[in-house]
Amino acid sequence: MIVVMEKDATPDQVEHMVQRVQEMGLKAHVIQGTERTVIAAVGDERVTKAEALESGPGVAKVLPILAPYKVASRELKPDPTQVRVGPFAAGAGVVGVIAGPCSVESEEQIMASAHAVKQAGATALRGGAFKPRTSPYSFQGLKEDGLKLLAQAREATGLAVVTEVMSPEEVDLVARYADVLQIGARNMQNYRLLEAAGKSDKAVLLKRGPAATLDEFLLAAEYILNEGNAHVMLCERGIRTFESHTRFTLPLATIAYLHKKTHLPVIIDPSHGTGHAYMVPDMAVAAVAAGADGLMIEVHPDPETAASDGYQSLNFAQFAETMERCRRVADAVDRVICSMEEAAV
């Protein structure tokens, strides 16, 4: 890292900081500028306490050079990771589509959804059984009954099942029914949960927190990877900004950045990323064009009566049309949307 000294830092202060840098096991190079002195600290700066240098005497600021994550880094593993779960695959040129209702509401609703999204071309089914809701007065999900319905839908369709887990002690239960553990945006920095998911043998879909930087996002993934679970997908679902015509702001440049920095696949969620059903199809095709490794889309038999998130859910016809458009765009950018047929081969 680079320790930038104040303009009026004394030689003693510079010397003090050089010693502090060396105590951390780093090599210190002092560069006398025309206006300031800077100390380049060479070595693995991902050590504890490095941040504390900023409170050293005469220090103006400390600039990190290295990315703080390791296992998630593309420098460590240059080849892209493809996550495969049953018929679903994402990464390395293959675009996987996860679709289904926000919440599992009933057998009829989830079975109809499963068949519809499969027919339209999805290879994974989403559906919340444990629902994190902003208000304690909102529908909280069918819990284990919902998980059973998801497993039943998998049985009937062959789709992979993606569902959220909210707490470390629920990981085992959810893992019994699900193929992919989803960690929601609100829990992106719930470290106990990340650790528990990291110990599971299920793939993990980690959603970005709406105020998380991409470094923080990758460090959250690192918590999972670090426990030995390599099947991690990163899901961009929008960040919080001053915009109010969308519920969140969906920054597709995240894809290019993450592809440069990490080997993990990047999934885009245009439903939460916009919060309005009418925007979802355009943002879904845009995500495919921009290089996304997957899509996660909310689909409901009758959005108007959905128990949650109806305003951002597509109905079956809208989803089928969106998939058709996505396939054409994927073709135009030389990428493939994974399908049940190919998976079956």
The footprint of a copy of itself on residues 35-54 (CB under 8 A) is 35-36, 38, 40, 42-44, 46-49, 51-54
Query: Which residues ranging from 66 to 105 are in contact with a copy of itself (CB under 8 A)?
Result: 66, 68-70, 75
Residue 322: CB minimum distance to a copy of itself, A: 12
Residue 58: CB minimum distance to a copy of itself, A: 11
Query: Which residues ranging from 299 to 318 are in contact with a copy of itself (CB under 8 A)?
Result: 303-311, 313
Among residues 46, 42, 95, the alpha carbon closest in space to that of 72 is found at 46
- In the complex with a copy of itself, which residue's Cβ is closer, 118 or 247? 247
311 membership: H or E segment, kind and range: none
Q: Quote the CA–CA distance of 116 and 300 in Å, as a whole number.
A: 9
- In the complex with a copy of itself, which residue's Cβ is closer, 179 or 222? 222
- In the complex with a copy of itself, which residue's Cβ is closer, 46 or 176? 46
**Using CA atoms in the order 255, 256, 261, 262, what is the torsion angle rounded to 10 degrees?**
40
| Residue where the block lists tokens 């926000």 | 102
Q: Quote the CA–CA distance of 243 and 73 in Å, as a whole number.
A: 31
Residue 342: CB minimum distance to a copy of itself, A: 20
What are the φ/ψ torsions at residue 187 (nearest 5 degrees)? -105, 15
Residue 156: CB minimum distance to a copy of itself, A: 27
> Other C-beta atoms within 10 Å of 136: how many?
6
HEC assignment per residue over 21-68? HHHCCCEEEEEECCCCEEEEEECCCCCCCHHHHHHCCCEEEEECCCCC
- In the complex with a copy of itself, which residue's Cβ is closer, 26 or 85? 26
214, 254 Cβ separation under 8 angstroms: yes
Query: Which residues ranging from 10 to 29 are in contact with a copy of itself (CB under 8 A)?
Result: 20, 29
Query: Which residues ranging from 179 to 238 are in contact with a copy of itself (CB under 8 A)?
Result: 186-193, 209-211, 213-214, 216, 219, 222-223, 226
4, 63 Cβ separation under 8 angstroms: yes
- In the complex with a copy of itself, which residue's Cβ is closer, 29 or 155? 29
Residue 230: CB minimum distance to a copy of itself, A: 15
Query: Which residues ranging from 240 to 259 are in contact with a copy of itself (CB under 8 A)?
Result: 240-246, 249-253, 255-257
Query: Which residues ranging from 110 to 139 are in contact with a copy of itself (CB under 8 A)?
Result: 132-139
Residue 251: CB minimum distance to a copy of itself, A: 5
> Other C-beta atoms within 10 Å of 238: how many?
26
Residue 14: CB minimum distance to a copy of itself, A: 15
- In the complex with a copy of itself, which residue's Cβ is closer, 96 or 198? 198
- In the complex with a copy of itself, which residue's Cβ is closer, 33 or 156? 33
- In the complex with a copy of itself, which residue's Cβ is closer, 57 or 86? 57
Query: Which residues ranging from 262 to 301 are in contact with a copy of itself (CB under 8 A)?
Result: 273-274, 276-279, 282-283, 285-291
Residue 125 pairs in a beta bridge with 99, 161
Reading the block at residue 343, the tokens are: 């998976």
- In the complex with a copy of itself, which residue's Cβ is closer, 177 or 223? 223
Q: Quote the CA–CA distance of 329 and 325 in Å, as a whole number.
A: 6
What are the φ/ψ torsions at residue 162 (nearest 5 degrees)? -115, 125
Residue 67: CB minimum distance to a copy of itself, A: 10
Among residues 25, 24, 30, the alpha carbon closest in space to that of 4 is found at 30
> Other C-beta atoms within 10 Å of 11: how many?
9
Residue 321 in the binding site for a copy of itself (CB under 8 A): no
Residue 232: CB minimum distance to a copy of itself, A: 13
Q: Please tell me whether residue 185 adopts helix, strand or coil conformation.
A: helix
